């Protein structure tokens, strides 16, 4: 299956031959469906906080003395934002008109409302009375070249005296909740190799005004998705796909590969939020408040778990074991299987001594995204998980009914504790469930291939984390998946 030359090239990439063979076997066997007990809902699994609980969590945030770092996956290309505009170009080139009522028409009719409107004017090549000229100036290299830029460098919001990219809005946010007592605000941003220099330059261009305004010093690290997390592609017979020169094809392993980047962050708490989920500053207060609430809740749960772990280091205590069992059930939805007395203490310690995450969940209003569920783990206990539909057997009527009963979805709004009760960093790789990846079909050079995505960052890559779900308001979730999403009120001047 793999030649000596293949093995040499795999090792040159920094990849593992054993991992490549495991991936090929996953193509052959597929990934097992997860066993779900129920959707996580406010009845069980999702905390809905009252005003007292919110205030207590905010107080916990202000009292917290540990490090906080913001982690922003930002390697995604902006080209998908402009999919409809790309498709309109050949239509216009053929002399045909734009379909009335289409997204393209909406875009063209509202051009002056976008933050990049002045940039289009300044190109000197944009004829605003000619739709084709506008699209070429927007997407092409002869204009502002948004077709090849990452989302983080797209101007999202227009203000009276300036306009801001989504990256800038993350700088503003970070100053509000990811800053230490020393005034340093830390961010770790994953970008693609082709754009890292552009991000660095953009940071240098804009950071001074925000540092001056918010009284912070930014410590921003740009990291790359490691090539050794790429996964091998196979043909439809599950044999390694080879190009015209006989070379193996490796593809990026999806956002699950970022567990490597997250694992390299040295911080007590890490906040995870996608690059395109930002709002104009006038709408920011609720977002900031809820980030502080999530961090405060995490700090409180972390404190309780660390207390129990220190107690478990002492002599066997049956009352303590019962108290911890009740805590796991009530706070983390972990119901333990029947256990022999002689392993209860070690089992409880293993359950507690894990990374912790507090995840915001938004009421389900039809937006795309994974959902919160209670599942049965391999050891017979239950846990809270964020699952995608591909991980569930939707042919099973019971599973389908459980999914249809779900009330919330995952907006990617996480506060994570990645150090143990002794202050040591967890090795996050140890808490990944490798059997929760995804297989998809792609086309390359006119041929169909199968591609493998690693367990998603907030899905299987955090499968063995201790998890709390908290309802957060919809105002905290404002993703920009298409350019016309920038016409929503949360993004407009």
pLDDT at 241: 93
Confidence of residue 71 (pLDDT cuts 50, 70, 90): very high
pLDDT value of position 214: 97
Do the Cβ atoms of 455 and 253 come closer than 8 Å? Answer: no
Render pLDDT for 433-464 as a digit per residue (tens, 0 to 9).
999 999 989 888 788 999 999 999 999 999 99
CA atoms within 13 A on the CB side of 129: 0
Q: Report the candidate in 255, 274, 278 with the shortest Cα–Cα distance to residue 414.
A: 274
Rounded to a whole number of angstroms, the distance between the first and last alpha carbons of the chain is: 58
Helix, strand or coil, per DSSP, at residue 368: coil
Angle at 258 between CA 473 and CA 454, to 5 degrees: 100
For residue 248, what are the β-bridge partners? 242
Q: Point out the least confidently predicted range of 97-101, 225-229, 378-382.
A: 225-229
Domains in the chain, please, with CATH?
4-76+224-491 (3.90.550), 83-149 (no CATH)
pLDDT band of residue 3 (cuts 50, 70, 90) is confident
Does 367 have pLDDT greater than 70?
no
On the question of pLDDT at 102 being above 70, the answer is yes
Containing 290, the helix (H) or strand (E) segment is helix 284-312
Mean pLDDT along residues 250-256: 91
CA distance 350 to 431: 11
Give the model's confidence band at 6: pLDDT under 50 very low, under 70 low, under 90 confident, else very high: confident
DSSP single-letter state for residue 414: E
Q: How confident is the model at residue 271 (pLDDT cuts 50, 70, 90)?
A: very high
Give the phi and the psi of residue 34 in degrees, each rounded to 5.
Answer: -85, 150
How high is the mean pLDDT of the chain?
95
pLDDT band at 493 (very low <50, low <70, confident <90, very high): confident
Q: What is the mean pLDDT of residues 213-239?
A: 94
pLDDT more than 70, % of the chain? 99
Say how far residue 218 (Cα) sits from the centre of its chain.
22
Q: What is the mean pLDDT of residues 50-59?
A: 98
- Mean pLDDT, to the nearest integer, of 162-167? 98
| Confidence grade of residue 195 (pLDDT, cut at 50, 70, 90) | very high
Question: Per-residue pLDDT for 305 more than 70?
Answer: yes
What's phi and psi for 58, nearest 5 deg? -65, -40
Please determine, for residue 93, whether its predicted confidence score (pLDDT) is greater than 80: yes
pLDDT at 291: 98
Look at residue 369 in the predicted model and tell me its pLDDT. Answer: 60
pLDDT at 366: 66
Under the banding of pLDDT at 50, 70 and 90, the label for residue 1 is confident
**Mean predicted confidence (pLDDT) in 225-250:** 91
Instruction: Tell me: pLDDT of 375 over 80.
Output: yes
């Amino acid at each position: 299956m793999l030649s000596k030359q293949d093995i040499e090239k795999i090792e040159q990439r920094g990849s593992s031959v054993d991992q490549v063979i495991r991936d090929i076997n996953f193509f052959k066997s597929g990934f097992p469906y997860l066993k779900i007990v129920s959707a996580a809902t406010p009845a069980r699994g999702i905390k809905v906080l009252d005003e007292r609980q919110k205030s207590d969590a905010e107080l916990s945030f202000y009292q917290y003395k540990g490090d906080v770092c913001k982690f922003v996956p930002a390697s995604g290309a902006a080209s998908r934002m402009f999919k409809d505009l790309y498709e309109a170009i050949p239509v216009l080139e053929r002399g045909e008109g734009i379909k009335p009522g289409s997204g393209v028409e909406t875009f063209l009719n509202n051009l002056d409302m976008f933050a990049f409107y002045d940039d289009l004017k300044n190109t000197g090549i944009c004829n605003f009375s000619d739709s084709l000229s506008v699209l070429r100036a927007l997407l092409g290299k002869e204009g502002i070249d948004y077709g090849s830029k990452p989302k983080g460098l797209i101007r999202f919001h227009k203000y009276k005296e300036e306009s801001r990219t989504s990256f800038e809005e993350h700088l503003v946010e970070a100053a509000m909740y990811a800053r230490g007592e020393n005034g340093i605000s830390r961010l770790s941003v994953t970008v693609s190799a082709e754009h890292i220099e552009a991000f660095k330059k953009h940071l240098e261009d804009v950071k001074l005004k925000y540092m001056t305004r918010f009284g912070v010093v930014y410590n921003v690290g740009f990291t790359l998705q490691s090539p050794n997390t790429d996964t091998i592609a196979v043909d439809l017979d599950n044999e390694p796909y080879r190009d015209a020169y006989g070379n193996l094809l490796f593809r990026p392993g999806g956002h699950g590969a970022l567990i490597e980047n997250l694992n390299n962050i040295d911080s007590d708490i890490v906040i995870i939020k996608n690059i395109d989920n930002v709002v104009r500053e006038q709408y920011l207060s609720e977002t900031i408040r809820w980030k502080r609430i999530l961090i405060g809740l995490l700090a409180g749960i972390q404190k309780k778990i660390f207390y129990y772990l220190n107690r478990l280091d002492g002599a066997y205590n049956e009352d303590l074991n019962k108290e911890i069992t009740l805590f796991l059930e009530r706070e983390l939805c972990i119901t333990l299987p029947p256990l022999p007395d002689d392993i209860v203490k070690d089992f409880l310690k293993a359950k507690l001594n894990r990374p912790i995450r507090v995840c915001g969940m938004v009421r389900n209003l039809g937006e795309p995204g994974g959902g919160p569920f209670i599942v049965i783990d391999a050891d017979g206990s239950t846990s809270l998980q964020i699952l995608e539909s591909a991980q569930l057997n939707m042919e099973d009527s019971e599973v389908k009914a459980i999914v249809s009963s779900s009330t919330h979805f995952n907006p990617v709004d996480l506060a994570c504790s990645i150090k143990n009760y002794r202050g040591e960093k967890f090795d996050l790789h140890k808490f990944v469930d490798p059997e929760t990846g995804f297989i998809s079909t792609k086309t390359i050079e006119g041929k169909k291939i199968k591609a493998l995505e690693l367990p998603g960052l907030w899905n299987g890559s955090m499968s063995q984390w201790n998890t709390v779900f908290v309802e957060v308001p919809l105002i905290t979730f404002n993703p920009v998946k298409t350019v016309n999403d920038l016409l929503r009120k949360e993004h407009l001047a």
